[in-house]
Amino acid sequence: MAFTTLKLEYEGEVATLTFNRPDRRNAISPEVAEDLGAALEEVEAGPARVLILTGAGKAFCAGLDLATLRDLAERTKDNYRLQPGGVKDGFPVGLDANIAEARSMARMFRRLYEFSKPTIAAVNGPAIAGGCGIATLCDLTLAAPEAKFGYTEVKIGFMPAVVSVFLIRQIGEKRARDLLLTGRIFGADEALRLGLVNEVVPGEHLMARARELAAGLLEVSPTGLAFTKRLIHDLSTEDLDRELELAAERSARIRFTSDYHEGLTAFLEKRKPAWKGE
């Protein structure tokens, strides 16, 4: 299958998916999300037994791209102005559409989290917001020393709703609170200490180490791997269903606040936001 935003290559039983928008720091757009879903389907249905994810150029994946953010700003610019009369069945007008969009994002992350074959992220540079989620949801995550991580949504009046569901599971609530509430950027060494990264590898050896790990995974039972991955997922399926639905609903609701509108607009205009706290 031909993809416009990524490359999918095969070497024996190892597939390598490369986010391929280096001029835009491999940022997420609707096309990237669609390509990622289609690529995962192709790899899952094919003979490859391990999937490596990485980024072209100097970034792994820098979150939502500017065009997508501008589209969000335009589509939600009047949400925060809704008056009490702009309510239907107890919900602000347009909330259902926003929940549907948030559910779509949740499905993308969950698809990667529940992928039936082992996944290895080779994080070659910044992995921010949604990109950080993609990097850390893989079974194994390698990072070059220059890699940067961060759940930065609060800085633009938004919230890292969906990724928080997975982050708390990975590193615990106290550490997750630090990253989610501050929105700070942190380096590869701290990501290793937190347990979000398995190894820090010199950039020039990053892909070689990813292939070495893949080769090791090819030596064990594919049935054993599949059953083990399925067990890990099934242990938390019911909780994930509930928590991701709650995250989608909250992600949609914050789009009806003035701070969301102000933060997104200020980011696009490259100025400091004037928060109202509402």
pLDDT of 85 higher than 60: no
Q: List pLDDT tens digits, range 196-212.
A: 999 999 999 999 999 99
Segment 111-118 shows an average pLDDT of 95
Q: List pLDDT tens digits, range 20-63.
A: 999 999 999 989 999 999 999 999 999 999 999 999 999 999 98
CA–CA–CA angle 145, 208, 44 (5° rounding): 105
pLDDT of 64 higher than 80: yes
Domains of the chain with bracketed CATH = 6-269 (3.90.226.10)
Q: Which of 119-123, 134-138, 223-227, 235-239 has the lowest mean pLDDT?
A: 235-239
Segment 85-111 shows an average pLDDT of 74
CA–CA–CA angle 273, 103, 262 (5° rounding): 10
d(CA 116, CA 111) in angstroms, rounded, equals: 9
The residue with greater pLDDT, 161 or 101, is 161
Q: pLDDT band at residue 101, thresholds of 50, 70 and 90?
A: confident
> What pLDDT does 78 receive?
64
d(CA 14, CA 8) in angstroms, rounded, equals: 11
> What pLDDT does 96 receive?
76
> What pLDDT does 102 receive?
87
Segment 172-186 shows an average pLDDT of 97
d(CA 138, CA 113) in angstroms, rounded, equals: 7
Residues marked as catalytic: 153
pLDDT of 88 higher than 70: no
Distances in Å between the Cα of 258 and the Cα atoms of 10, 60, 189, 234, 262 are 47, 31, 36, 39, 6
Q: pLDDT band at residue 1, thresholds of 50, 70 and 90?
A: confident
> What pLDDT does 253 receive?
87
> What pLDDT does 81 receive?
57
Q: What is the DSSP string of the chain?
A: ---SSEEEEEETTEEEEEE--GGGTT-B-HHHHHHHHHHHHHHHHSS--EEEEEESTT-SB-SB-HHHHHHHHHHHTTGGG--TTSEETTEETTHHHHHHHHHHHHHHHHHHHT-SS-EEEEE-S-EETHHHHHHHHSSEEEE-TT-EEE--GGGGT---HHHHHHHHHHH-HHHHHHHHHH---EEHHHHHHHTS-SEE--GGGHHHHHHHHHHHHHTS-HHHHHHHHHHHHHTTHHHHHHHHHHHHHHHHHGGGSHHHHHHHHHHHHTS-------
Could you tell me how many residues make up the chain?
278
Distances in Å between the Cα of 168 and the Cα atoms of 51, 171, 218, 251 are 24, 6, 30, 17
- Whether the model pTM is above 0.85: yes
d(CA 63, CA 126) in angstroms, rounded, equals: 9
> What pLDDT does 131 receive?
95
pLDDT of 230 higher than 90: yes
d(CA 109, CA 118) in angstroms, rounded, equals: 15
Segment 92-104 shows an average pLDDT of 77
Query: Could you tell me which of 1, 2, 52, 4 has the C-alpha nearest to residue 26?
Result: 4
pLDDT of 86 higher than 70: no
pLDDT of 278 higher than 50: yes
Q: List pLDDT tens digits, range 117-172.
A: 999 999 999 999 999 999 999 999 999 999 999 999 999 999 999 999 999 999 99
> What pLDDT does 84 receive?
39
Q: Which residues contact 5 (CB under 8 A, 6 or more apart)?
A: 19, 20, 21, 29, 31, 32, 35
> What pLDDT does 82 receive?
53
